[in-house]
Amino acid sequence: MLAIFHKTFAHPPEELNSPASFSGSKTPKLPEETLKDFLARHPPNTFSVNFGQAAVLAYVPPDGRPFSPHQRLFCGFDEIYCLFLGSLNNLCALNKQYGLSKGSNEAMFLIEAYRTLRDRGPYPADQVLKELDGSFAFVVYDSRVGAVFAALGADGGVKLYWGITADGSVVISDDVDVIKEGCAKSYAPFPTGCMFHSEGGLMSFEHPMNKMKAMPRIDSEGAMCGANFKVDVYTRVNSIPRRGSEANWAEWGTD
């Protein structure tokens, strides 16, 4: 899967953008070049959805090839779109809890969970993600309000990467080679057990009361790359970042 968001709609940690990206032999590419590379690397039935200058989502449907051992899903409903990688062991229970049919897949569930929390749910996003049992990575894009939400499971069973393109756009993908080619030195593994929101930034849903810290990454050439992000066990925040009295995936910001 591949998701690209214009810098106006996504605000990743500053440490992800490495100054070394423009001083090495390889420099970051523009978003359209990265999309072209992704589509060229995968089967002919790979498709993409373009949202003007705001975002692009690309999806590789399962075709039996050994690209990934994990389930790959794409779903869109009510102007909300979800790319999902992995599987949830408790999907049946979650579908029942949210009033979905037994045949609903993980991407459908995440869209409904997002809609519920955005519109009327009083529960923090981290509490919802803690209920997900399995190996998973997902990106949700709410095209109506321009909100981006991404998360990676805590068990490390699925890999996800993110980086910064030449124009400052944010790229999220499970294809590390596409990320490396498109973002040069400005990329890093997406931290496990963490979630990113375009308004609220990066935080751990495993330890939501602790701040995230950036650890410098040094590549094989000795150049500093985009940082690794980890939970700072020594620093705690007073409250989980949110706007207003309710946690809201569409309007999740700091007080």
pLDDT tens by residue, 19-76: 777 776 788 999 999 999 999 988 788 889 999 989 999 998 876 554 456 789 999 9
Share of the chain above pLDDT 70, in %: 85
Q: Does the residue 255 lie in any domain?
A: no
Q: Does the residue 159 lie in any domain?
A: yes
209 vs 85, residue with greater confidence:
85
CATH of the domain at 137: 3.60.20.10
Q: Does the residue 135 lie in any domain?
A: yes
Distance CA 142, CA 36 (A): 23
User: Where is average pLDDT lowest: 2-6, 7-11, 246-250?
Assistant: 246-250
- Which has the closest alpha carbon to 88: 40, 137, 122? 137
Q: Does the residue 139 lie in any domain?
A: yes
Q: Does the residue 178 lie in any domain?
A: yes
Whether pLDDT at 193 is above 60? yes
Q: Does the residue 249 lie in any domain?
A: no
Question: At 111, is the secondary structure helix, strand, or coil?
Answer: helix
Domain extent for 125? 2-236
Give me the amino acid identity at 146: G
* pLDDT tens column, 128-185: 899 999 999 999 999 999 999 999 999 989 999 999 999 999 999 999 999 999 998 8
Our count of domains for the chain comes to: 1
Kindly state the tokens that stand for 218: 């040094």
Q: Does the residue 244 lie in any domain?
A: no
